[in-house]
């Protein structure tokens, strides 16, 4: 779907939301570009999407290690 089509759809329905989670969206500026280009009004995710993001990337490994060490104290 083109950016124009997403913006038009956004004017017809309540709101367009991104339905995926990706660690680097904000850090890389991609989220801002998506907002400016396609006009989403929010992000949605569920536990299975988040679990998939954790399982299939290494982005969260250090945070999980730190939390596990903190919890052991």
| Structure confidence at residue 65 as a pLDDT band (50, 70, 90) | very high
Q: Tell which wins on pLDDT, 69 or 52.
A: 69
| Structure confidence at residue 68 as a pLDDT band (50, 70, 90) | very high
Task: Measure CA of the first residue to CA of the last residue in the chain; give whole Å.
Answer: 50
Tell me the HSE value of 37 on the side-chain side, using a 13 A CA sphere. Answer: 10
């Amino acid at each position: 779907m083109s950016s124009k089509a997403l913006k038009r759809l956004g004017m017809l329905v309540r709101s367009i939301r991104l339905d995926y989670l990706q660690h680097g969206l904000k850090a890389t500026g991609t989220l801002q570009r998506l907002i400016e280009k396609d006009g989403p009004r929010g992000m949605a995710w569920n536990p299975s999407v988040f679990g998939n993001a954790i399982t299939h990337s290494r982005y969260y490994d250090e945070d999980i290690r730190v939390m596990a060490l903190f919890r052991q104290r």
